[in-house]
A and B are shown apart, each in its own frame.
Chain A
Amino acid sequence: MADTGFVQKEKLNDFLNELSKDAVVYAPCLEGDTVIFKAFDSGTTLCLDRPANNPPKLVVFPQSETLFSFKYKKDAEDPRKMSVELEANTDFPRAIIFGARPCDAKGFRIYDSVYIDTNTPDPYYKGRREKTMIATLCCSAPSPGCFCVAVGGGPAHREGSDVLITQLEKGYFIEPVTEKGRAILNVPRIEDGEQYAEEAHKRQLESHDLVRNPFAEDGQPKISRALFDLDEFWEHVVSKCLSCGACTYLCPTCYCFNITDEQALNNGERIRSWDGCMFSHFTLEGSGHNPRPTKFKRFKNRVGHKFLYYPEKYNGVIACCGCGRCIRHCPVSVDISEIVSYLRGPRFEFTNEPPESMGTDTNSQEQKQ
């Protein structure tokens, strides 16, 4: 069997149809001017020209999923007694993510540490992850806001991918990265890719230097803890944030969730759905107390989680893949890479009195957001 494959440009749709025969294929598709990951079928228009607006995380970590359903039953002998029946499904269909970007694929590695490589793996995430093959398309040019090279990634980075695809003049060079990925070479309509390998490997290196690196001076961003713990810093950099969830919901590495019960009479479901640390309800406790009561504290959590807490817990790995979605899709252009570069040390000139962007008392701050 060949080690690599090639699909002619005009045969790509046929190839995806072949892939669809025994798995649900999620691919970036055009809707209006928006590119979204959705199940590919004959009615969808594939768009591989630019990264999708949303990452493919929803394939493995859906926005909302039923953990289990429950049913209360009365005891026929003793009507005062109720029993509860639970039913859970962790049997998921096979899926293929086609056309993820290297940053998107790297994002799944961030989740794996949390949801799989622990003493108590998450059966839902793990079940979907094991059934999913990730076929990643190398980036030929950066998009506005991208900074993957600054956080250990790159336009042809392989981490998290099962297959790496390189777009060439005549078609797509297909290269398995993992054992799981090798199965793609058995799909009909794929040719031997050997003659294209050299061109593809050259192409993969081309765009690396085009990606901006906001932390270039010191490689991996090293954060000044003193500045990080300065409330005034956060109040200053976060004042324009609207506290919406666009950044977290479009993030390939954000994995926070909420759990709610949806019950009607004696039946119901326990739902797990995305949560985001930008929302005012985030970490709101049952008592009504919230340890992160203000916008800037929540924002500090977002940056801290990605660039401090996660690396501390997981061998220095930064939980940001530099895809740039939170920057380019933010309604007010909040730039996390700019904030992190400020945090690297004393270069951030912090003079004058503390900025009074949003006040310090909880009440005035919570009026709007």
Chain B
Amino acid sequence: MISQRLREAIAGVFSEVDVALAYQQGFDKLHATPCFMTMPEEINKLIWNPLCVHNLTSYLPSLKKKKVAVVVKGCDSRTIVQFMQEGLINRENVVIIGIPCNGVISVNKVLHETNHEPIEDITFGENGEITVKTLKGEKTLLLSDVCPDKCKTCQYPTPIVYDRLVGDPITSDKSPDSVYADIKEFENKTLEERLQYWEQEFDRCIRCYACRNACPMCICQDSCIAETRDPHWISQRATLSEKFMFHMIHALHLAGRCVECGECERACPMGIPVNKLKRKINLDMKELFGYEPGIDPEDKPPLYTFKVDEVTIKEHKI
């Protein structure tokens, strides 16, 4: 079982690190939660299953001075690559325990399927079937139906960087064209329709900044323009225009940096599809610069650098 092999892998590197980041059972059967293990006996608390949705690498920049072992899925590993590009971690201080991943669940989608009843029990079958038990009875779901959208088009099920790999590598069987299919479809809507869509979504925003704080690539720390008085770009009013402005800036700051881990959207307590904006900008970055974030540690985000002639951009010939 992968859980057991994962425990062994962590036990194997435990003496080399100050803290190991993995998953343990959360407050109910439907939630896993990140655990920071500092004592060897804590390793027994560790779990691995499709509830392990969090991108644990988000904690790495704040632990930069420590030696850390971290469990990463394929998607999470892209964050580490991006951190390396931007010098946000010391790679030699991080022991990456990679796990090839067949997809995780979306808690919200499972709750939707079970009418938001408290989950009494949940079990995962070999072939992606999930049995959930509530007070109202039992229901079988398919992982492919209740996974986050990112898993449906996942191109990197096996971590891109790792020091130890637990489990056999998996190759993606999903078409690369499928990754931005939803964004392209959304762009077929008229400008008015899209504006109306975003106005309705952002109106729910409570400015709790869960999206920002869950985002591994948000690095302005305590100088985020959402709160600063200098520069004073956004007031503390809870109006649509202020919320819109914050989300636009958040998205633009991630241009060519967002690794599409989807933590922003998963963290949102109000169900706002905030990842869609970032993915739209990533699609633009791909079309403009032929660049995909979090793939090559030696690369640089396009907006961190400058080339006189961008191969993919046709400029006016003077």
Contact = CB atoms under 8 A, between A and B. Distances in A.
Given A34-B271, A332-B54, A355 B38 contact: yes
A63 B204 contact: no
B128 interface: no
A36 to B, nearest CB: 6
Contacts of B18: 356
Interface in B189-241: 200, 204, 206-210, 212-214, 221-222, 227, 229, 235-239
A243 B215 CA distance: 12
A244 B235 contact: no
A332 B36 CA distance: 12
B30 A144 contact: yes
B39 interface: yes
Interface string B11-39: 00000001100000011101111111011
B227 A279 contact: yes
Interface stretch (B94-102, B114-122, B143-151, B171-179): B114-122
Most chain A CB atoms below 10 A, which of B18, B119, B206: B206
B303 interface: no
Given A63-B206, A250-B269, A273-B237, A141 B135 contact: yes
Contacts of A271: 235-237
Interface string A81-124: 00000000000000000000000000000000000000000000
B221 A368 contact: yes
B267 interface: yes
A240 B229 CA distance: 29
- The main secondary structure of chain A at its interface with chain B is loop
Interface stretch (A47-55, A150-158, A180-188, A192-200): A47-55
Interface string B259-298: 0000100110111000000000000000000000000000
Given A144-B28, A240-B35, A331-B214, A367 B64 contact: yes
Interface in A231-271: 236, 239-240, 242-246, 248-250, 258, 260, 262, 271
Contacts of A229: none
Contacts of B63: 358-359
Contacts of B238: 62-64, 273
A189 interface: no
B184 interface: no
Contact of A368 (B19, B61, B66, B111): B61
A31 B204 contact: yes
Given A54-B206, A246-B210, A249-B208, A356 B33 contact: no
Contact of A333 (B33, B236, B237): B33
Contact of A244 (B36, B239, B267): B267
A249 B65 CA distance: 32
A24 to B, nearest CB: 17
Contacts of B204: 31, 34, 36
Interface of B: 18-19, 26-28, 30-36, 38-39, 54, 58-59, 61-66, 108, 111-112, 115-119, 135, 200, 204, 206-210, 212-214, 221-222, 227, 229, 235-239, 263, 266-267, 269-271
6 interchain residue pairs of minimum CB distance: A368-B62, A331-B267, A34-B271, A329-B269, A63-B238, A245-B208
Interface of A: 31-34, 36, 49-50, 53-54, 62-64, 141-145, 236, 239-240, 242-246, 248-250, 258, 260, 262, 271, 273, 276, 279-281, 325, 327-329, 331-335, 337-338, 351-352, 355-359, 364-369
16 contacts: A34-B204, A63-B238, A64-B237, A144-B27, A144-B28, A144-B118, A245-B210, A249-B206, A260-B235, A271-B236, A281-B227, A332-B33, A333-B33, A352-B39, A356-B18, A367-B62
